[in-house]
Amino acid sequence: MRRALYLLPVVLFLGLAAVFLYQLSFGRDPRDIPSVLINRPLPPLDLPGVPGRDDIGLKSEHITGQVSLINIFGSWCVACVAEHPMLLQIRKTGLVPVHGIDWNEKNPEDGSRWLKRNGDPYDRVGLDLGPPKTNAAIDFGVTGAPETFVVDASGNIRYKHTGPITPEVWTDTLAPMIKELQKP
């Protein structure tokens, strides 16, 4: 019985290794920071338009009143190119309006050039060049692009998806959630 005590460190080590292995393979991605904005009202938006697209921009009143998606993107963002066909497809379904925040561009026109090249899935697009002028992305607690927020009809943020929207994310998570929120 006392002999068994000597095996204790090995048992502890194996237990710890198992916890680490589990976290590494199935655990939460440490880059995926939980948003504090869930179930909180949308931060006030008053963004100018992207030069070369329109000058309406993106303002709070464009968003409230119906369930919508807000997608943070940038012409510099590689993962956004990968996500783009999915956004175009979402636009085609007509299920939900998708608004864009064109974030952190070197030149204000980069976004409209990028949208001309890759297709434009957005209803409204606002330009956020960052502080000191605008800080919409920071108001949304954005850590990188792309990120997508689900906003309900009364203007509350209901969900945040970090990274590109894959077909699985759309069919398994976002589309069912949007349909649920659209129910009167």
Partner 1 sequence: MRLPKAFVAALAAFLLAGPAHAVNPDEMLKDPVLEERAREISKGLRCVVCQNQSIDDSDADLARDLRVLVRQRLKAGDSDEQVVQFVVARYGDYVLLKPPFKSSTYVLWFGPPVLALIAIAALIAFFRRRRPEAVEARRGLTPEEERRLKKLLGDNP
Nearer to partner 1, 43 or 56 (CB): 43
Nearer to partner 1, 51 or 141 (CB): 141
Q: Which member of 37, 82, 175, 177 binds partner 1 (CB under 8 A)?
A: 37
Q: Is 162 in the site for partner 1 (CB under 8 A)?
A: no
CA distances from 130 to 37, 82, 91, 124, 160 (A): 19, 24, 27, 18, 20
How far is 95 from 67, CA to CA, in rounded Å? 9
What Rg value do the Cα atoms of the chain yield, rounded? 21
Question: Could you tell me the smallest distance in angstroms from the CB atom of residue 59 to partner 1?
Answer: 19
Contacts of 55 (CB under 8 A, 6+ apart): 48, 49
Closest residue by Cα to residue 129 from 55, 50, 63, 69: 50
Question: Could you tell me the smallest distance in angstroms from the CB atom of residue 152 to partner 1?
Answer: 20
Q: Is 138 in the site for partner 1 (CB under 8 A)?
A: yes
Q: Is 33 in the site for partner 1 (CB under 8 A)?
A: yes
Nearer to partner 1, 2 or 92 (CB): 2
List residues binding partner 1 (CB under 8 A). 30-31, 33-37, 104, 130-132, 135, 137-144
